[in-house]
Amino acid sequence: MNFVKRAWLNLWARKGRSALLILVTAAIMLFVLAGLLLRSAANTAVANAKSSVGATLTLSANREAAFKKMREQMEDQSQDSDSDSDTTPTRPSLTMTPVKLSDAEKIAKLSGIESYNVSVSTSANASGFDVIETSTGTSIMQGGGGFGGRGGFEDNSGDITISGVSSTAGATAFSDGTNTITKGRGLTSDDIGTKNVVVETELAKQNDLAVGDTIKLKSLKTDDAAAKSYTVTIVGIYKAKSSSTAQMGPGASDPANTIFTSYSFANTLKGSDAKNTADSVIFTVSTPSKVDSVQKAAKKLINTSKFSIDSNDASYQMVKASMSSVTSFADKIVWLVAIAGTIILALIVILMIRERRFEIGVLLALGERRGKIIAQFFCELLVVLLVAIGLASAGGQFVGDKLGEQVVASAQTSTTNNAQGGFTRGGGQAPSGDQGQGAPSGQMPGNMGGRASANQAAMQKQAKLSTRITLKDVGLLTVLGLAIILIAITAGAAGILRLQPKKVLIGS
């Protein structure tokens, strides 16, 4: 094992050269490690996306069937009016059948369904407190209910938008970070059947409301029932991140006028017909790849002429697509750096061998085996490699993080650009995800706003691509490093194998 000692003596005696070699190797290893970290982080992100981003199924009224029915009614009326010219035809209205909670419960029992969230939207009038008034130009708009899911402006809407949910934590507006509970607590399944509400900070400030206070809400007057007043208890106050009214159209209420409550109380405000119904129910599918089979099974449990069940795994697909581009980029980095590193190290080794030809000549003259001379160079580079890997491991986290941020940002930009067209066409940018998920009874459900928000959330999750150095990464880096120095030594060894001691020591 004398060659090991020689390798050590040489490294120690030529400290400056050894340090330079360590720095060059560390730089190569650093980029290889950064590539490995990126690739592993991207793979982890895709795996996490499967569980955390998830896919959803939305059970709601079948709009297509409702429109078809309306068109049929219109055709019937036009035929009747042709035969009887004295009667004035009345324009048929679009009738949506609310989702039955019993149907939702059946679907929830399917394997693959992780959880579900009921969404009911309606509106009510404030009683004894002031709503946030929004001034746009010369007009002052009041009331209007939810924006995202509304088909249009209605004169008989209340000034407060009521968003009924199973729990605030499960509602997209809270899970994607648009709304955050700042005081008190959010709504949970325990609040179903109660009159507990969560109000927005601005509304609370304007009316000096605090957790524990009560306010009065008046249901809208309908043909069948008179307006009724309800006293509700504030259990929490939330802060809406996007409270801008800039994008709101005519008839839209300020997002601060949205009050979250349990879906049961929202149904109470809607009227007795709405009992045990929902505008939509969102089911979270535990494994996004199984969303199609779960959707198929769910369709068998519902009346598809009245209800539709739509899948949405766009978040998962978006994360998967952008992570695939990160993985591909990371792969390229690993390969390019490994190839470039091998070439650089091979050149260094060749130069090193040329520089040390006299030493090699003496060793050969003493009768040293060529294999052992090559082994000495390998040992020297191995020590250099191990130190370089240590340095690379220390700096790899930082470089991996920085590179990851850049790569993810560029992947996000391209993926979002590709995806945005579809979402904006579908639902526009709803101020609140939940408002988009459900609409007041009889109005068109609009999921696209909520989906856009969910995708934003998914992208945010992805932006936090975590690059962590594990023993596996260091092991893989060592294997790659060993392969690089083996190739470099093999390239340089040709010089040693060809070297004639006579030419080196005597001939010259």
Partner 1 sequence: MLETKDLSYWYTNKEDYLFKDLDLTFDAGISYAIVGESGTGKTTLISLLAGLDKPRAGKILFRGEDIQASGLSNFRRHHVSIVFQAYNLFTYMSALENLMTALSITHSSHNGDRQYAMQMLSKLGLTEEQMKQNVQRLSGGQQQRVAIARAMVCDAPLVVADEPTGNLDEANSDEVMALFNQLAHDQGKCVIIVTHDAAGAAKCDAVLRLKHRELTWQKQPPVPAMVD
Binding residues for partner 1, rule: CB under 8 A, are 2, 5-6, 9-10, 13-14, 358-359, 361-370, 500-502, 505-507
Are the C-beta atoms of residues 125 and 220 closer than 8 Å to each other?
yes
Question: What ranges make up the beta strands (E) of 228-313?
Answer: 229-240, 258-262, 277-278, 280-285, 307-312
Which strand (E) or helix (H) includes residue 119?
strand 113-127
Buried b / exposed e over 77-107, threshold 16 CB at 10 Å, is eeeeeeeeeeeeeeeeeeebbbbbbebbeeb
Residues forming beta bridges with residue 258, ordered by sequence position: 161
**Three-state SS at 451:** helix
Pairing of strands 196-200, 229-240: parallel
Of 402 and 502, CB closest to partner 1: 502
Q: Calculate the CA 456 to chain-centre distance.
A: 6
Query: Hey, which residues does 229 pair with through a beta bridge?
Result: 218
Residue 154: strand, helix, or coil: coil
User: Among residues 329, 320, 469, which one has the least CA distance to residue 390?
Assistant: 469
Q: Closest separation between CB of residue 469 and partner 1, Å?
A: 35
Q: What is the DSSP letter of 440?
A: B
Q: Which is nearer to partner 1, 283 or 378 (CB)?
A: 378
The pairing of beta strand 99-100 with beta strand 277-278: antiparallel
Instruction: Give least dist CB 364 to partner 1, A.
Output: 7
94 vs 505, beta carbon nearer partner 1: 505
- Return the SS3 of 135: strand
Q: Which is nearer to partner 1, 192 or 363 (CB)?
A: 363
CB of 22 to partner 1, least distance (A): 17
Provide, rounded to whole angstroms, the least separation between the CB of residue 360 and partner 1: 11
CA distances 394 to 15, 36, 45, 121, Å, are: 22, 14, 23, 53
Which are the contacts of 480, defined by CB distance < 8 A and separation ≥ 6? 32, 36, 334, 338
How many whole angstroms separate alpha carbon 448 and alpha carbon 460?
Answer: 18
**How far is CA 260 from each of CA 132, 149, 237, 385, rounded to the nearest angstrom?**
16, 16, 10, 60
Nearer to partner 1, 6 or 451 (CB): 6
Closer to partner 1 at the Cβ: 16 or 137? 16
3-state secondary structure 361-389: HHHHHCCCCHHHHHHHHHHHHHHHHHHHH
Least Å from the CB of residue 490 to partner 1: 21
* The amino acid at 506: I
Q: Which is nearer to partner 1, 297 or 505 (CB)?
A: 505
Cα 462 from chain centroid?
A: 5
For residues 475 and 138, what is the distance between their CA atoms, to the nearest angstrom?
A: 69
Residue 464's nearest CA partner among 180, 56, 169, 52 is 52
Rounded alpha-carbon distances, angstroms, from residue 131 to 191, 241, 255, 326, 430: 24, 18, 11, 47, 20
